[in-house]
Amino acid sequence: MCMLAAARGTGSRLVKSSRIEVRSLQAYRMDADGRQQLLRLTSSATLSTRAGATASTAAPRRPSITPTTIPISYNSSASARLSQLNNHIPTAALRYSTSSSTSVSSNSNNKMSAQAEHPTVLIPGPIEFDDAVLQAMSTPSESHVGMPFVNVFGDSLAQLRQLFITTSPDSQPLILSGSGTLGWDVVASNIIEPGDEVLVLHTGYFGDSFSDCLATYGAIPTQLGAPIGSRPSPEEIENALKGKKYKAVTITHTDTSTGVLSDPKEVAEVVRRASPGTLVVVDGVCSVGCEEIRFDEWGLDVVLTASQKAVGVPAGLSIMMLSGRAIEAYKSRKVPPGSYFASLKNWLPIMQNYEAKKPSYFATPSPQLVRALNTSLTQILSVPLSQRFEEHKAASKKIKDAVTSFGLKQLASEERFQANGMTAVWLPEGITPADILPHTAKEGVVFAGGLHKQCATKYIRIGSMGVSVTKPELGHIDKAIDALKTGLVAAGYQLP
């Protein structure tokens, strides 16, 4: 039996006093195996309502649906559930109605969304979430070893192979409950052994933290750094690799503290040339889903990420791809893994079973988060990845161009070092994040302060990932630029 899970308007949904135009709808249904299917309803419908009635209270004329016709009713309980979710947002950030009748038309910050009104979160993760992803988390409880969930988990692992662009039967995706940091622990306690040398390419705060994690498990990290806003050159990396035998090189693809983009393809080429036995480990927490990554083609061994950034799912999932070489390195360890929850001994068979659609248990996964991941990955993979990356480039360029036009500079000193999922902006002399962020918040936009310990009070960070980019109709990028401009002026800066 098909069950309609959620229906919502996207694209052009104009709420006027007495007419609602719905030009495009997306709906999700659950199939017999418990998988959510994305249905795109392409018909155009014009709905008449009483003057002043809102979208959620209006009964829409039923549009025709492809591929199957299913009954649609606007589900006002979805907005009630979203209101409950909002209770977890700090009171200071509340600027929205908590009424269960929150409707599309009352959401002044985000007119295209069914979510309760809330400040637009444009930090470099967590990002704004798609309605359907949040609705996927509102599924009733289910057994984590029942076939409906096992099917969704298995499909999500297969989708990750597409996202990371790997077809090698030797590579293995993992979805674990945890955050991005857990990926470091998996690497440090399974693939690296105590006493192993690791070369950490340092482009900001997250290189320091990954080093700390490696050292915690007994590895010997050596950091190869660069001035703030830059990254180690291929020559420097090659020289370092010639000087010592490293078990692995780690790269922070986008260091979220500086917005500096590294080039894993180039680094992997250097490693394969200078030290073929060395593993290439990419921290893609702020890059997977918004920057190009070609796992097989570039010869990467580990790419780890988290759900809350460009993958577009609330925090709580640690996501990884391991190469056959990385798994071999784990299998040939001299001592058992130094962790229990993060142990590949425990997780590899579970992931293999899930992908083969066989129920399996080591530790309880989150069905709701995995369903949200499945929904988000279905959306992400519904357009070519190259298009997604171009969209992120274009949105980020728009912000970067605005920053330049305001007379400001980015931390990332050259264009090729600039990430496409975020922008780190030096503030004018004498202005701190505390001077500007309250003003941008008043404009309904949440930006992040600085994070790099040497200069945290001198810059702010703007995220541009996920729906804020792929759904320009939300207006998030323009809103970010306007808020930045208003905030700068309010903080006493004179625009050029």
Ligand X SMILES: Cc1ncc(COP(=O)(O)O)c(C=O)c1O
In the complex, the residues that contact ligand X under the rule CB under 6 A are 125, 179-181, 206, 252, 255-256, 283, 285-286, 306
What's the rounded Cα separation, in Å, for the pair 24 and 9?
Answer: 6
Instruction: Pick between residue 156 and residue 254 the one whose CB is nearest to ligand X.
Output: 254
Please write down the long-range contacts of 6-9, taking CB distance under 8 Å and 24 or more positions apart: 6/75, 6/78, 6/131, 6/132, 6/135, 7/72, 7/73, 7/74, 7/75, 8/114, 8/131, 8/132, 8/135, 9/55, 9/104, 9/112, 9/114
**Smallest separation, CB 18 to ligand X (Å):** 46
Q: For residues 370 and 175, is the Cβ–Cβ distance under 8 A?
A: yes
The closest alpha carbon to 277, from 335, 234, 326, belongs to: 326
Using the minimum distance from each CB to ligand X, give the nearer residue, 285 or 320.
285
Q: Among residues 20 and 213, whose Cβ is nearest to ligand X?
A: 213
In whole angstroms, the minimum distance from the beta carbon of 305 to ligand X comes to 8
How far apart (Å, rounded) are the C-alpha atoms in residues 327 and 344? 9
**CB closer to ligand X out of 173 and 178:** 178
Indicate the residue among 444 and 463 with the shorter CB distance to ligand X: 463
| Minimum CB–partner distance for residue 303 and ligand X (Å) | 12
Q: How far is the CB of 102 from ligand X (least distance, A)?
A: 29
Minimum CB separation of residue 306 from ligand X in Å reads 4
* Shortest separation between residue 339's beta carbon and ligand X, angstroms: 15
**Residue nearest ligand X, Cβ-based:** 180
SS3 125: coil
d(CA 482, CA 321): 38
DSSP 8-state code for residue 488 = H
In the complex, the smallest distance separating the C-beta of residue 313 from ligand X, rounded to whole angstroms, is 12
Q: List the structure tokens of 165.
A: 């662009």
* CB of residue 446 to ligand X, shortest distance in Å: 15
Which lies closer to ligand X via its Cβ, residue 110 or residue 307? 307
Give 55 or 160: the residue with its C-beta nearer to ligand X: 160
Helix (H) or strand (E) holding 251: strand 248-252
**CB closer to ligand X out of 148 and 207:** 207
The span from the CA of 101 to the CA of 77, in Å, is 8
Q: Closest distance between ligand X and the C-beta of residue 210, in Å?
A: 7
Give the integer Cα–Cα distance in Å for 400 and 415: 10
Spell 160-184 as b/e; 16+ CB within 10 A means b. bbebbbbeeeebbbbbbebebbbbb
Residue among 21, 25, 32, 135 at smallest CA distance from 85 = 135
Kindly tell me which of 28 and 206 has the beta carbon lying closer to ligand X.
206
Question: Of the candidates 38, 43, 34, 14, which has an alpha carbon nearest to the alpha carbon of residue 26?
Answer: 38
Tokens of 303: 């790419």
